[in-house]
Amino acid sequence: MDPVLWPDLKEKRILLAVSGGIAAYKAAELCRLLIRCGAHVQVVMTRAAREFVGEATFAALSGEQVATRLFDPQREASISHIELTDEADLLLLAPATANLLAQMAGGLASDLVTTLYLAFQGPVVVAPAMNVKMWAHVATQQNAAVLRERGHLFVGPAEGEMACGHVGAGRMSEPEDVLLAVGYALTPSCLKGRRVLITAGSTREPLDSVRFIANHSSGKMGFALAVEAAAQGAEVTLVAGPGALEAPAGVAFERVGTAEEMATRVLQNVAAVDVIVMAAAVADYRPLEVSPVKLKKEVWGDEPQVTLERTQDILQTLGERFGAGGGPVLVGFAAESAPDTASLDTLAREKLARKRCHLLVANDISRADAGFAGDSNRVVIYAPDGSREDVPLAGKRHIASRVLAQVVQLLEDRRLAAGGGRSPVRDRP
Ligand code: PMT
């Protein structure tokens, strides 16, 4: 996964509980990722976990002494085990064995990890890992159901070949997928119950069987929006042009090639979504004629002429249909090369009016640290009522959270205008 999609965990305190299984080695990588995202990590290990990975590994990675025993006089003198839970923002159990799930479900407090679980009142993320048959056993399934019922977020187990040679569900999810789940659990679910469609990346308009016209969009902005919307509880569909970024976990993903394919996918989905965010850099033109074979230089000559035709403007089509209301919230992006802020303002407001969208996010692509391909962006978000929000230079995931904050506000305004009562927007437990 591209680091641009990682959650911002600055000032978050994570209690990482590692139980005994071969997957304990994956918790070391997870610990490293959490710290790279800015979190403070306190590792707690069961006795069995220490049979697989030594405390020294986690102590070195987290920069903190690892807690292992319930009654450790030395440790209790500085910080009691209950204090560990008071300070934490999230309890992450990774890997969580069948035995640990059973103890948690039953409310047993037989060691430090299970005692901390009982004393902790914040969000809990569980990454199970065990033998395929143990995971499939009705007892484990019932325990997992009890824990899900309590509001704990499960990530995995993933399917694949296990260390014991069995194939099926039981592997601990990859550390990056667990990291995303931690971000989800710490993000207020402002888009819970909402269906959001996001486009990302460039389209490719073929000239012949090997050549095409495209642009430098990497898809990072659109993917960051998709991951952030999913973290906020939305049901997300991401329609992306060709590119190197992999489908993010927890998002329905559709890969398309041309502008026409992107238009088809967006327009097919329109009736089923509450929000459409067009972050893709859709080609405005495509070659009028496409050769089914590679065009030879002998045929093209020294000064080939290519005739282009306009593609369908997807956002404008949506704006004409729904700009006046009654359809999804429409968010457009504008990639502008503006000589100054006033010109960006004029260009963006003109585009907002012409495409009749409900929000327009303008990025100045003449700046090296914004717009296409990089990890950062700086944008101005325009609304039809004349208001604007300047979002200074930041990572694309942060930019995505600012854009979605405005979307949430628009959805809330619509709900109130329709005579809605109490807000369905609520934070996760
Ligand atoms: O992918 P990254 O490398 O992270 O880069 C991000 C980005 C710079 C591509 C992104 O932030 C951005 O600005 N996306 C929109 C780029 C663009 O096509 O801008 P535009 O001003 O040409 O188009 C305006 C809007 O109309 C856009 O929402 C676009 O998706 C939409 N459009 C354009 C053409 C078309 N045929 N159909 C459309 O729907």
Where do the structural domains in the chain lie, given as residue ranges?
3-186, 195-417
Distances (CA, A) of 367 to 209, 319, 371: 34, 29, 8
Closest CA to 99 of 154, 18, 20, 15: 20
Distances (CA, A) of 143 to 106, 119, 139, 157, 228: 8, 19, 6, 14, 30
Q: Could you give the CA distance from residue 185 to residue 32 in angstroms, rounded to a whole number?
A: 19
Peptide bond connecting 157 to the previous residue in cis, omega within 30 degrees of 0: yes
pLDDT (tens digit, 9 = 90+) per residue, 13-52? 999 999 998 999 999 999 999 999 999 999 999 999 999 9
pLDDT (tens digit, 9 = 90+) per residue, 59-70? 999 999 999 887
Ligand 1 atom showing the smallest separation from residue 379 Cα = 11
User: Greatest CA separation found in the chain?
Assistant: 85
- When mean pLDDT is compared across 90-99, 165-174, 234-243, 262-271, the lowest value belongs to 165-174
Q: How many CB atoms lie within 10 A of CB 244?
A: 9
pLDDT at 293 over 50: yes
Residue 52 sits at the vertex; the CA angle it makes with 51 and 56, to the nearest 5 degrees, is 90
The torsion of the CA quartet 348, 351, 355, 356, rounded to 10 degrees, works out to: 60
Contact criterion met (CB below 8 Å) for 319 and 347: no
pLDDT: which is higher, 148 or 419: 148
Q: At what angle do helices 220-231 and 396-417 cross, to 10 degrees?
A: 50
3-state secondary structure of 379: strand
| pLDDT mean over 222-234 | 97
- Options 3.20.20.70, 3.40.50.2300, 3.40.50.1950, 3.40.50.300; CATH for 3-186 is 3.40.50.1950
Mean of the per-residue pLDDT values for the chain?
A: 93
- 3-186 against 195-417: fold identical: yes
Which residue has its alpha carbon closest to ligand 1 atom 26? 315
Q: Which residues line ligand 1 (CB under 6 A)?
A: 201, 217-221, 259, 278-282, 284, 311, 313-315, 332-335, 363, 365, 371-373
Which residue has its alpha carbon closest to ligand 1 atom 18? 281
pLDDT (tens digit, 9 = 90+) per residue, 42-58? 999 999 999 999 999 99
pLDDT at 423: 54
Given 31, 37, 164, 357, the catalytic residue: 164
Q: What are phi and psi of 383, to 5 degrees?
A: -120, 155
Contact criterion met (CB below 8 Å) for 153 and 388: no
pLDDT (tens digit, 9 = 90+) per residue, 105-139? 999 999 999 999 999 999 999 999 999 999 999 99
Residue 314 sits at the vertex; the CA angle it makes with 290 and 411, to the nearest 5 degrees, is 155
pLDDT at 342: 85
The pTM is what? 0.91
Q: Could you tell me the distance, in angstroms and rounded to a whole number, from the CA of residue 289 to the centre of ligand 1?
A: 24
3-state secondary structure of 239: strand
Asked if 164 is an active-site residue, the reply is yes
pLDDT: which is higher, 89 or 297: 89
| pLDDT mean over 204-219 | 96
pLDDT at 428 over 50: no
pLDDT at 429 over 60: no
> How sure is the predictor about 427, in pLDDT bands with cuts at 50, 70 and 90?
very low
Superfamily covering domain 195-417? CoaB-like (3.40.50.10300)
User: 359 pairs with which residues across the strands?
Assistant: 331
| pLDDT mean over 418-429 | 55
272 burial (CB, 10 Å; 0-12 / 13-18 / 19+) is exposed
pLDDT at 418: 85
Mutation pick for ligand 1 pocket among 5, 203, 278 (CB with most ligand atoms within 8 Å): 278
pLDDT (tens digit, 9 = 90+) per residue, 348-358? 999 999 999 99
Q: Could you tell me the distance, in angstroms and rounded to a whole number, from the CA of residue 250 to the centre of ligand 1?
A: 24
pLDDT at 83: 82
